[in-house]
Amino acid sequence: MCGIVGYIGTKNAVDIVYKGLQQLEYRGYDSAGIAAISGGELLLEKEEGKLINLEKHLSKFPTTQEIAIGHTRWATHGKPSRENAHPHATEMFALVHNGIIENYEEIKSELIKEGYRFQSETDTEVIVVLLQKLYDELKSIEGAIAKTFSRLEGAFSLGILAKDDPESMYLVKQGSPLVIGRGSGENYFGSDITTFAEVAKYAIFLNDGEWAKVTKDSIELWDHDGNAVKIKPTPINWTPGSADKHGYRHYMLKEIHEQPAVISKAITNFVEGNQLNSEALGVNALACEKITNISIVACGTAYIAGMLSKYFLEDLTSLPVNVDLASEFRYRKPHMLKEGKTLVIAVSQSGETADTLASIKHAKEAGCQIMSVCNVAYSSIDRESDSTLLMQAGPEIGVASTKAFTSQILCLYLWANAFSQRIGTLDQIGVEKMLEKLSSLPVHVNSAMNCEEGIHDIVNRFYEFPNFLYVGRGPSYPIALEGALKLKEISYIHAEGYASGELKHGPIALVDKHMPIVALAPKDDYYDKTISNIEEIKAREGLIIGVGDDQDQTLKRLCDAVIACPQVDNAAFQAILTTIPIQFLAYYIAVKRGTDVDQPRNLAKSVTVE
Ligand code: F6R
């Protein structure tokens, strides 16, 4: 995690770096810092807590500095504190780091034996101390950086300032993302392009093993062995999404409310008359006829979207579909991956999740085709994939994923239809029937929003309970997992999701009159069995919050409360509709409990460490 950013040019560098950090706060928000060179001095300010806490220190920098680097942290080694915040510095160098140095203990003990002292508990400080030591020995900044680079193991992107070279920023990339923004008479770097997309004309994405020297007018790039690397600039074609709350109290609430528009936009983007746009859906770039099995990899909410998609992917494609947590998949043996025949689908809102990215690389080594479903263009996962389905859901800023989740479900579903048509398991009539139902989805999503009003009574009754269970069958099972994940991450209430059929294999032991259970009960193929499970909960005095048809008298009779949800005759669309009530429920419970909804404790929007 963590975000790093830097600027060199003729403008107020600290100002620019601070604005860059605001863009990157989604990557971590437990402390932040900025270093600049001014008047031959290395200046450094850092602060614990949110980025806003750093603002009061900015006036301590002179307004004339033209070079600065900054960091916003998500703690890996050492608690969130001022001492552990970056940049870390020595007499000559200031350094910001995103990633993890796996051999830091070994290097640190060597340096301690040689008499070096450390101020922080971080893995990062060993880099800057080692750099200083090697500089003292070699008397060469570039030599010291190259040698330091060769000692480090792990994933890291580094931004470095050297006091004696105030005209240059030095960058190193291994594993963690790093991109240079080329302007005219000024240059930038950042963990992603959002920090400079509106001002720089070209992006230069560094590859693993590369390092760079950036002045305001030049960029030099080398590989790990010191050979010059030809620079390949990518023109930036960026339409900034709105990062405004538009009057909503939280980004999360705004993003929940954006779902009808996101769904409508997806229909515009991916449907042309009575056809699916297989180009925009990323089908055309794949050798579809060779594919014999599909493996989906993702983390968190994106994994749950993948899990859900298995229900309709198997049905539509008649191919075996595997769904894995990326953090597990990346270490599995590749026997399951068949060269040229397995399609690996990576699902990721941010496009930067370290485990998902590593899974793609793992699958590439096994010769698989790679497709991604991604919300961020130019992200690492987008660039690593043979084909990308860009969701175009607009920026998602609230840490808890909402509109990206429902968008992922719809995108995967439309992709599954287009792909199935390509391989011949779905005909044009099937596509047209589906499109007819799709055309009314925005209306249903809009009416699903109406549950917001009635939810406050339920929230008032249940927000103080310390535990919740969520249950569902078929495609409602992943939604139960998503409901529990949403609730726990923003309200800090302990919540678990279960397949309804699994209840009696253990979890039902938890059920008594103190346990609220959110039962997802759409009128689908599984409805009767779901109702039987709800009866079993009722018999044990569980407190049942049903999500389903509010005209459903059985549900009303069995449940302590019912959240209304429109009913449709399509499993993927129903899953989208069932999701909306559980998003509102989690959101309003968190608000009632007074937690930091958009930036919950210990989390970050983009998880760039494993
Ligand atoms: C939960 C949430 C996370 C992300 C996960 C993957 O609300 O947002 O679980 O879904 O970290 O992130 P992406 O989709 O960016 O790969």
166-213 per-position pLDDT tens digit: 999 999 999 899 999 999 999 999 999 888 988 999 999 999 999 999
What distance in angstroms lies between residue 398's CA and the mean position of ligand 1's atoms? 11
pLDDT at 556 over 80: yes
Using most ligand atoms within 8 A of CB, pick from 307, 353, 587, 609 the residue to mutate for ligand 1: 353
Share of the chain above pLDDT 70, in %: 99
411 in catalytic set: no
Catalytic member of 2, 288, 374, 565: 2
pLDDT band at residue 228 under the 50/70/90 scheme: very high
Nearest CA owner, ligand 1 atom 16: 348
Q: Which atom of ligand 1 is nearest to the CA of 399?
A: 8
CB 402 within 8 A of CB 485: no
What distance in angstroms lies between residue 213's CA and the mean position of ligand 1's atoms? 33
pLDDT at 479 over 80: yes
What distance in angstroms lies between residue 404's CA and the mean position of ligand 1's atoms? 9
Using most ligand atoms within 8 A of CB, pick from 303, 607, 608 the residue to mutate for ligand 1: 607
Tell me the torsion sign for CA atoms 559, 565, 569, 574.
negative
Q: What is the mean pLDDT of residues 573-594?
A: 98
CB 47 within 8 A of CB 223: no
- Regarding pTM above 0.85, the answer is yes
CB 599 within 8 A of CB 27: no
What distance in angstroms lies between residue 198's CA and the mean position of ligand 1's atoms? 26
213 in catalytic set: no
What distance in angstroms lies between residue 476's CA and the mean position of ligand 1's atoms? 19
pLDDT digits (tens, 9 = 90+) for 73-113: 988 899 999 999 999 999 999 999 999 999 999 999 999 99
Q: Which residues contact 573 (CB under 8 A, 6 or more apart)?
A: 437, 438, 441, 444
Q: Which atom of ligand 1 is nearest to the CA of 298?
A: 16
pLDDT digits (tens, 9 = 90+) for 102-137: 999 999 999 999 999 999 999 999 999 999 999 999
Using most ligand atoms within 8 A of CB, pick from 191, 256, 401, 603 the residue to mutate for ligand 1: 401
Catalytic member of 46, 213, 538, 605: 605
pLDDT band at residue 332 under the 50/70/90 scheme: confident
Q: Which atom of ligand 1 is nearest to the CA of 299?
A: 6
What distance in angstroms lies between residue 606's CA and the mean position of ligand 1's atoms? 7
Enumerate residues lining ligand 1, CB below 6 A: 299-302, 348-350, 353, 356, 400-401, 485, 489, 606-607
Nearest CA owner, ligand 1 atom 11: 300
Helix pair 300-317, 571-593: axis angle to 10 deg: 170
Tell me the torsion sign for CA atoms 241, 244, 248, 249.
positive
Residue linked to tokens 């400079």 = 196
Nearest CA owner, ligand 1 atom 3: 300
Q: What is the mean pLDDT of the chain?
A: 95
Using most ligand atoms within 8 A of CB, pick from 330, 349, 356, 391 the residue to mutate for ligand 1: 349
Nearest CA owner, ligand 1 atom 8: 401
What's the one-letter identity of residue 359? S
pLDDT at 542 over 90: yes
Q: pLDDT value at position 606?
A: 80
Q: Which atom of ligand 1 is nearest to the CA of 405?
A: 10
Pairing of strands 543-548, 561-564: parallel
pLDDT band at residue 28 under the 50/70/90 scheme: confident
Q: Which residues contact 109 (CB under 8 A, 6 or more apart)?
A: none
Nearest CA owner, ligand 1 atom 10: 301
pLDDT at 240 over 70: no
Pairing of strands 387-390, 369-374: parallel
pLDDT digits (tens, 9 = 90+) for 182-194: 999 999 999 998 8
Domains within the chain, CATH numbers bracketed: 3-235 (3.60.20.10), 251-439 (3.40.50.10490), 448-593 (3.40.50.10490)
What distance in angstroms lies between residue 401's CA and the mean position of ligand 1's atoms? 6
Q: What is the mean pLDDT of residues 426-430?
A: 98
Q: pLDDT value at position 137?
A: 97
